Amino acid sequence: MIAVLKQGTTDQQQENLISWFKDMGLDVHISKGEFHTILGLIGDTTKVDIGLLESLSIIESVKRISEPFKNANRKFHTEDSVIDVNGVKIGAGNFQIIAGPCSVESHDQIIEIAKRVQASGATILRGGAFKPRTSPYDFQGLRGDGIELLLEAKKVTGLPLISEIMAINDLDLFEDVDIIQVGARNMQNFDLLRELGKTDKIILIKRGLANTMKELLMSTEYIMAGGNENVILCERGIRTFETYTRNTLDLSAVPMLHELSHLPVIVDPSHATGLSRLVEPMALAATAAGADGLMIEVHNDPEKALCDGAQSLTPDQFDTVARKVRKIREAIAE
């Protein structure tokens, strides 16, 4: 349920109303807009007498929210959220390209790639240290050592970092990692999400392989209900009956999630297609569809990559994509 307060409501009146809601066992999410303050009520709102609420002099309107996700709901927070990654902003017109290898493999590999993608306009460096691989016999990532190498790349380039967490026990290792990624396979690892909700880290959550947008937003709710509102959504393709591509990129998720939620939405065309030659057209299409950013896998020697070489761009190819993406951004700017 949301309650829109009238303009001119005093802080004291607002406080009194919030205490009244809290006495009913409800959590209150406050969204201060330019003209109106919206109170989002979370919990069992069946006890709230809508008629009584509407009759209060400070209430402009009251509406029940039918969607089961609340904190991420645009009705709770009408303006786009901006996620600030150490000065690098994502959302509300701020567009960023995240680039880097699927996995951190060595010092020279990550430093070389970091410098190259930065020179081409990437503003955040990606690199997996903990890898959720389908086969336990495949490369599992350099784990803590991989995070150390990412931190060296951050020192050299100044680029903020994103890396995937698989288990909450590893959280301490992510202290200087700027964005924690929850991968597609962990989108419904509810214990992990709940623990991340207790932190103030920026979380990028990827849509699961076979999950609906509603399920993605419900997973987001686990993080946000814990008090952590720093969430970025990521569409990375879903599993369909199609086999030519690794996944099927659901680009309609970009405008749909923007309609449903105030959180930034980025697109990963690398995992969505699995084929490096499809990354450019899908990156351009995602940009045109209004994504707030892209996440693209780049490797200095894709043929020898320990993970996802087939979908990785070379630094030169990435340079071309980044240049064309900027042109699309200019073309759609109003």
The verdict on 102 binding ligand PEP (CB under 6 A) reads yes
Q: What is the distance between the alpha carbons of residues 333 and 115, in angstroms, rounded to a whole number? A: 29
Instruction: Quote the CA–CA distance of 142 and 131 in Å, as a whole number.
Output: 9
Distance of CA 17 to the CA centre of its chain: 33
For ligand PEP, give the closer residue by CB, 36 or 185: 185
**Least distance from C-beta 239 to ligand PEP, angstroms?**
11
Q: How far is the CB of 157 from Mn ion (least distance, A)?
A: 21
Which is nearer to Mn ion, 90 or 102 (by Cβ)? 102
Cβ(217)–Cβ(260) under 8 Å?
A: yes
236 binds ligand PEP (CB under 6 A): yes
Does the protein bind ligand PEP through residue 128 (CB under 6 A)?
yes
| Residues numbered 305-324 forming contacts with Mn ion, rule: CB under 5 A | 308
Q: Which of residues 41-100 bind ligand PEP (CB under 6 A)?
A: none
Site string for ligand PEP, 156-185 (x = CB under 6 A): --------x------------------xxx
Stretch that binds Mn ion, among 6-14, 35-43, 144-152, 304-312 (CB under 5 A): 304-312
Q: How far is the CB of 108 from ligand PEP (least distance, A)?
A: 20
143 vs 185, which CB is nearer to ligand PEP?
185
Instruction: Give, as ranges, the residues between 65 and 124 that touch Mn ion (CB under 5 A).
Output: 102
Which residue's CB comes closest to Mn ion? Answer: 102
Rounded CA separation 217/101 (Å):
27
- Given a contact cutoff of 8 angstroms between Cβ atoms, the answer to whether 79 and 33 are in contact is yes
Cα separation of 245 and 237, whole Å?
Answer: 10
Q: How far apart are CA 76 and CA 30, in angstroms?
A: 8
Size of the site for ligand PEP (CB under 6 A): 10
| C-beta closer to Mn ion: residue 26 or 161 | 161
Q: What does the per-residue mask of binding to Mn ion show for 264-303, with x meaning CB under 5 A?
A: ----------------------------------------
**Quick check: 106 and 149 in contact, CB under 8 A?**
yes
Q: Which residues bind ligand PEP (CB under 6 A)?
A: 102, 128, 132, 164, 183-185, 206, 236, 271
